[in-house]
Structure 1
Amino acid sequence: MKFTALFTLGLATSAIATPSLVQRDGKEVQSLIKDISAKTEALDSAISSYNGGDASKVQSASEELISVTTKGTETVKAGDDLTSSDALGLTSPIQDLTDKIETAVDNLISKKSKFEAAGAAGEIKAALSEQFDAAKGLAEALSAKVPEALSDIADELSAGITKALQKGVDAYKDAKDGGNGGGDKPEPTEKPEPTGGNGGDDKPEPTGGNGGSTTSAPVIPGPTAAPTASSSGVPAPTGSAAPPVFTGAASRAGFSFGGAAVAAAIAIAI
């Protein structure tokens, strides 16, 4: 009903001459809506071709759409008010844009599980919220530029866009990233302290063998006790000398000393 009223009012006022600046503002707004529509198509194409994994193309297309919408809002705010004829010229482009946004949002919802598995659902959720805010800002700017009698109709036209985006925001409000992008890594468990083996108690001190204590025996044995004379006139030694530890010169020295002792005993006996 309101669309019909807008169309009738537009026809009735189309014959009224308007300043060229106002006409230019109307065309700029129409061009803006077409640009937003083209970016929406690009976003929907990226969504449709997405089958998991890297979601950077979807995210990039979403950022471009938000950027164009935000810049367009500033353009509308800086422009002059729109005439009824300008408002009429926006009816069809806005309805077409609404349909494209609805399609893109539906595709986003249908692939929610894929974005979650890739750990990108949080980014999509944030992008939908930004798109909603950008679209709402543009709608408010346009409503402020149309004649007061047509403000309700302008609100109704823009409501279709924000409604579609709100549907997407609601669908992703409980999104949980999983796969490579979700969940915390488990904490590593502590390694047990060694209880034995090479890293355990101190090595025992050696108790014997070559590394033990030294003996008290002298290196070179001392002379044997002097022999006592026997009834036969030949003295006999009363004890035996310990074998020398070293051979060679030391043994010869011991032998010479023993021979001298025997010779002395014979001389005394004679």
Structure 2
Amino acid sequence: MKKVLLILSSLVFAIVALAGCGASNNQATNNSKTLKVGATSVPHAEILEQVKEDLAKDGIKLEIVEYSDYIQPNLNLNDKELDANYFQHIPYLEDFVKQHPEVKLVNAAGIHIEPMGVYSKKVKKLDELKDGATVSIPNDPTNGGRALALLAKAGVITLKDGVGISATVHDVVGNPKHIKFQELEAAQVPRTIEDVDAAVINSNFAMQVKLNPVKDNIFIEDASSPYVNILAVRTGDENRPEIQALIKALKSEKVKKFINEKYNGAVIAAF
């Protein structure tokens, strides 16, 4: 009988011990944090990949959700499906918030600059464009205005005074070569390069189709570009410890070195 009681006592002790271990494991799991960040694949997701291990040391699991458009990352972040996103520059975010007043997002940190460039499979210089040439540009307000401003800087067109980056094709007041503009979603512009005479493409999308922004452009923004790509968060989340840890990791010398070596000037660190 004593032997039976001893065995039963041992079994009870073992069950309690296992339950205790399970509770500890569950608590450890609950203490770990997941940070879900939306990003376009190149270079944003690639840059984020570089900080996964650093964040893991702080008990933060970084989950990268890749997007191919500029609309859903902001909507999903606002709807709390993401903790942050990393794909856009400041003018785009400012315009997006104006167009979607229900969206409450802010700039948490500037990370890098991607110069916008003009590319062509048909001419080697912009002054070689023929009369009536077709040029594809992004159709969203800020990137479209940015593309037109770049073409104006190159002397291809003249814009109405004072329009700046909010220019539209209706603000073109000088067009000596009678350029025809094909306006498309920014991610689709690179796919037109075989069909149009020139295309104005964001560097991240240029790299996705194996265009080298340094070597393949026929005209490109210089390093003074104000279009810093940012980490965006919901208003009020700027000081969340996990967000601050992500910003610290992204602004490290490790990431700066990666950007310099990986993109060779096509992407420039902004810190």
TM-score (norm. length: structure 2): 0.22
* Higher RCO (Cα < 8 Å, 6 or more apart): 2
TM-score (norm. length: structure 1): 0.22
Q: Which has the higher strand share?
A: 2
**Larger Rg computed on CA atoms:** 1
